[in-house]
Structure 1
Amino acid sequence: MADPRGDAGEQPAEPDPFWWRDEVPRRPLPVEGGIQIARTRGPVARTWWSRRFIGVLEELGVGGRLSRGRSYARAGQIVSLEVGPGGAGAEVQGSRPRPYRARIGIPTFGKAEWAAVTDALAGEASYAAMLLAGEMPHAIEEVFAGVGLSLFPDSASDIVMDCTCPDHAVPCKHLAAVFYVLAEQFDADPFRILALRGRDRDALLDDLRERRSTAAREAGSAAADGAAPLVELLDRFYTGGVRSARLVGSRTPPDALLDQLPDFMITVRGEQVKELLRSAYRALDGRD
């Protein structure tokens, strides 16, 4: 009977679980019309809020994956990107024919938490004005901290990251590419950061306007409650109030300006012109 292991008596080779590493090119497949960042060199984030967001990624210390992620983002390897409350999902083209699915999750704030944040923002006129103008106040992190919240993730534990690629490191270069694209989008629209936490631009601005209007009405009502009716003031409405004492300081001589003038080369009857004018200045002042 023939040896079932073959003539050489060897066991059949087991399949290589990483067969795709040799058969698929390591370079990512090009994407036509992919989503990419505009900055081809240097730092990606330009605004402080985008740098703060990227800082969370850089604190993870993933080394070369950050540079490869930037290369993916600059090359336009992201096929699609959806951003909404609670995170972002993207398809990132790698070396395999089928794009990888990358997901970044950030916890959203509840209704009561956002009410506390909005009340704090509305209570400071400068914060409300900047947000209504489309800008992110520098102290907005302090506002969130004041109500026990954090606008940006504090650490990797505050972010859920997942990718279908075979790389076991988190974040992988595909997730890093999504981070960089998000950072550039945050540069253009800081409200996207707030949207990740569960409150979009229109909803937040509407709440701010409503709270500011309510505060103004309440302040007007409080002032009106302490004022006398107009009918009781008609007899003295047009009378002047108490005049304050007139402030009198040291008086400047009327001809002091002439002392600043140089002597004229031309004289009138042997006298300097400014000396002739001095008597006129004093006469106009009433001293002579």
Structure 2
Amino acid sequence: MPPRRRAPKEPFSEKFPEYGKRIAVEDGIAAKSRRGDIGESWWSGRFLAVLQRLGVGGRLDRGKTYARAGQVIDLAIEPGEVVATVQGSRAEPYRARIGITTFADEAWEAVEQAFARDSWYAASLLGGTVPDDLEDVFAAVGLSLFPTGTREMPMDCSCPDWSVPCKHLAAVAYLVAERFDEDPFLILRWRGRDRASLLAGIRDRRDDVGPAVTPLAEVLDRFWTAGGPLPEVGGATGLAANSEELLDQMPPLGVTLDGRDGPDARELLRPLYRRFGA
């Protein structure tokens, strides 16, 4: 007698009738965006683009609803992974994880060396902004700052939905995008290097090679251009409340007024920063 074939498992229902409505969360992490798109900066847009290419059915829209309703209980962005707890319709919350491949120390050393050779990148990063061409720095050393596909960004959730991303993962991703808006250094942390370590590495390499002197005339077209929205003092980027302390954190800029050796540009800016601080 031939063996009986096991009936295939029923796919997880899009309508979720057996699970009822989601359980409301008190003091959950809610998205700041209340309507429309989530994610304002180009770097959060790059991150969400990977998610949107994988979107199944209406899960992304439901994930956005979850994010705005505060269904995410906790969320942590660590090197190599984002881990979160999401409350669904069951009593026990789900564990959601978004992974990423971290860069090896040798790769980060190459990136830091590239940053150290250009004062513009160092100053922008110290100011809490990500230059528009930051991806080019990583590409020049053979790296991609943002995930290029699903293999580089594995996702899993303890919910019964087979689809990836499910609405719980989508909710987490939208909140991560807002975190990236607030603090672009979290992208680099996710890739394996936190802000303090990255800036310390840049300073060490600038001390070794010495700052490249760039005449102001050569960077005048971008010198007064803000790389993005300015962070709030003492906010998520962790900038010092004293404006003058920002100059103390900054490596030598290597910028002179006439192309010759001259006083450190930080000292020329210090009186202005004191006035801003006042």
Supply the AA of the counterpart residue of 1:28.
R
1:92-107 pair list within 5 angstroms: 92-107=86-101
What secondary structure does 1:104 align onto? strand
Structure 1 partner of 2:66: 72
- 5+ residue gaps, structure 1: 1-15, 220-288
Supply the AA of the counterpart residue of 2:167.
K
- Find 2:145's aligned residue among 141, 151, 166: 151
Structure 1 partner of 2:202: 208
Supply the distance in 1 between the matched residues of 2:158 and 2:194 (Cα, whole angstroms): 29
Supply the distance in 2 between the matched residues of 1:131 and 1:211 (Cα, whole angstroms): 15
The structure with higher relative contact order (CA 8 Å, sep 6+) is 2
Structure 2 partner of 1:190: 184
Cα distance per residue 1:215-252 (max 9 Å; x no partner)? 22799xxxxxxxxxxxxxxxxxxxxxxxxxxxxxxxxx
Supply the AA of the counterpart residue of 1:160.
P
**How far apart are residue 32 of structure 1 and its match?**
0.3
Supply the AA of the counterpart residue of 2:198.
L
RMSD: 2.0
Supply the distance in 2 between the matched residues of 1:217 and 1:119 (Cα, whole angstroms): 12
- Find 2:104's aligned residue among 110, 113, 119: 110
**How far apart are residue 62 of structure 1 and its match?**
2.1
- Find 2:54's aligned residue among 60, 66, 69: 60
What secondary structure does 1:59 align onto? helix
Structure 1 partner of 2:235: none
Structure 2 partner of 1:47: 41
Supply the distance in 2 between the matched residues of 1:206 and 1:169 (Cα, whole angstroms): 41
- Find 2:115's aligned residue among 121, 132, 153: 121
1:112-261 pair list within 5 angstroms: 112-216=106-210
**How far apart are residue 213 of structure 1 and its match?**
2.5
Supply the distance in 2 between the matched residues of 1:107 and 1:66 (Cα, whole angstroms): 23
Supply the distance in 2 between the matched residues of 1:167 and 1:17 (Cα, whole angstroms): 8
What secondary structure does 2:147 align onto? coil
Distance 1:217 1:173, change over 3 A: closer
What secondary structure does 1:112 align onto? helix
Distance 1:96 1:143, change over 3 A: same
Q: How many residues align?
A: 201
Supply the distance in 2 between the matched residues of 1:77 and 1:217 (Cα, whole angstroms): 48
Cα distance per residue 1:95-121 (max 9 Å; x no partner)? 001001111110111110100111111
Supply the distance in 1 between the matched residues of 2:191 and 2:105 (Cα, whole angstroms): 11
> Higher mean Cα deviation, 43-52 or 56-65?
56-65
Supply the distance in 2 between the matched residues of 1:68 and 1:55 (Cα, whole angstroms): 17
What secondary structure does 2:37 align onto? coil
**How far apart are residue 52 of structure 1 and its match?**
0.7
Cα distance per residue 1:265-287 (max 9 Å; x no partner)? xxxxxxxxxxxxxxxxxxxxxxx
